[in-house]
Chains A and B, each alone.
Chain A
Amino acid sequence: MERVARVTGALAQLGLMLAGTGVVVMTVFIAAQVFWRYVLNDSLQWTEPAAVMIMGWFIFLGAAVGIREGYHLSFDVLLYVLPERARLTLHTVSDVVVAAFGCGMIWYGAQLAENTAGNKVPGLGISGAFDFLPIVVGGVLLVLFSIERIARRAAGLPTLRFGDDHEEA
């Protein structure tokens, strides 16, 4: 389990690094757009679609990592009144639901990517499939991290939830 956790932990860090790079690149693109528009009095046409696409990447990567690190919002109020065992079972049900939705992201995201692969994204000229790849990759990580949570719980190890103290790294 520990070894698995090291691998998934590394994956989560990688996902977070990629997503963070995305935020920085997006900042640079829009800053360039502002600079061109107001200082050079010219308009860049590719910055907006590019930044929007990057936003998709870091949202779905970040959302997947969020499952592992437990930073998604949830209503835990009912769970407080339940006994520990029932609570853990319900957490596992939640993780199964998330994993199932992640499978949907992979399968149907791939279908959408395939369907739009022949199109060109306006302003960028790249394949429309890039619009939907983040959903697929995010889905893969979601499934992986959900299974890890279920396995950890089965092994009696703790899993993080929103409102717990996070490791800020």
Chain B
Amino acid sequence: MELWILFGTFITLLLIGTPVAFCLGAASLATVLYLDLPPVVVFQRLNSGVSVYALMAIPFFIYAGDLMVRGDIARRLVALAGALVGHMRGGLGQVNIMASVMFGGVSGSAAADASAVGGLMVPQMKERGYGVDYAVNITVVASIIALMIPPSHNMIIYSISAGGKISIADLFTAGILPGLLLALSLMVAAWFVARKRGYPTEPFPGLRVLGQLFVSAVPGIILILIIFGGVRSGIFTASESSNIAVVYALLVTLLVYRSLSWVDFLAATKAAVRTTAMVLMVIGCAASFGWLLAFLKVPASLVMALQGFSDNPIVILLLINVVLLILGTFMDMSPLIVITTPIFLPVAQAFGVDPVHFGVILVLNLGIGLCTPPVGAVLFVGCAVGKVPIWTVMRSIWPFYGAAFATLMAVTYVPALSLWLPSVFR
């Protein structure tokens, strides 16, 4: 009964157009009242859900992105990228995906990655004639790459949840090839969609123009080098690098380009508040909802239902993937890793799946969950930076879901994709 109330309230409110955050919050509150638990717990989870240091990268990257757009850093960077790849179909879509590969090391958080790349790329792609939905689709799904390419905090959570018996170094290395494969399949999807929609190509502008564009984009390039180099070499954490991005963007736009007025600065700050508050409110309310799912032992029951369903490893792995995709649709990534690892890993191991391989499957799978409705932090970040309704994005995102799912299947059934690289480095 309590599950009917939880999901019933949530879905009903969702359908009548209540803001997603409050669908989650009100459904949790209704269920807690029904269970006769002290309702304070809903608001405590809401508060703890947003009081997380690692989440700070989201407001900072969104803020930095907005400052870069208003202060003309973004336009110059994308102008350079456009000149380089403009002759390709959907060239900026490809750039967007490559940016996710590079920023993958920066954040390790898909939502932060979506805010970093999306805040920069989506407005510029819009301006250069790409559909907003196309820009958001790519930004959203490509940000899963961030989870796969080291450093990945989720891999660490997985290792700890598995009782610490799995080498984190191995897990980090194991994610690299699947991450690149995901990038590749998304690039193929982006090319097909761009061709189908007839996105224009631009002639190559010539080396002279390219050189001028490069010079004018230098401060932006330095920013990317600082962030990319700083985190890749491991000097900064995600929250720190996102903060450096804000400070640097302010310095460049105020002192070098002198392109940011006081009015622009205020507008950028308010925009950052709006976008961040909206996304983090969903994350906080999802923490309440997720707490109830754990309290009601939903993940455990789902897994229980799965066990004894089949003894074919291929079928079992497929079922595990399906269950994780369903759970990932409602819950956030790290609590799901913590809850499902101790239950799923022994099952997978019983069928001969290597724990490192399973970690990669788990993270990729739950990463897809971050991009799917009804609850997907990354999807919401994408909609927020693009200022488009979820529905508009949903209508055209399917080719990219398809590419991600195909990658998931390849990673699930070809263990070498995950295990070959660690074996080389060991």
Contacts and interface: CB of A to CB of B under 8 A. Distances in A.
Given A71-B278, A75-B374, A58 B40 contact: no
Contacts of A111: 40
B16 A79 contact: yes
State the majority secondary structure of interface residues on B. helix
State the majority secondary structure of interface residues on A. helix
Nearest to A61: B277
Size class of the contact patch on chain A: 35 or more
B223 interface: no
Contacts of B21: 63, 72-73
A51 B56 contact: yes
B14 interface: yes
A55 B43 contact: no
Interface stretch (B90-98, B140-148, B361-369, B386-394): B386-394
Interface residues of B, number: 63
B25 interface: yes
B269 A101 contact: no
Given A27-B247, A38-B235, A169-B270, A73 B390 contact: yes
Interface stretch (B47-55, B176-184, B296-304, B340-348): B47-55
Interface string A1-26: 00000000000000010011011101
14 contacts: A20-B269, A24-B269, A27-B243, A52-B53, A55-B51, A72-B21, A73-B20, A73-B282, A94-B22, A98-B18, A100-B29, A105-B43, A131-B47, A132-B47
B135 interface: no
Nearest to B246: A27
Contact of B277 (A48, A59, A91): A59
A23 B59 contact: yes
A34 B17 contact: no
A23 B391 contact: no
Contacts of B402: none
A91 B22 CA distance: 13
A162 B389 contact: yes
B383 interface: yes
Contact of B281 (A16, A63, A169): A63
A55 B59 contact: yes
- Considering residues A77, A97, A111, which has the most beta carbons from chain B within 10 angstroms of its beta carbon? A97
Contacts of A19: 273, 277
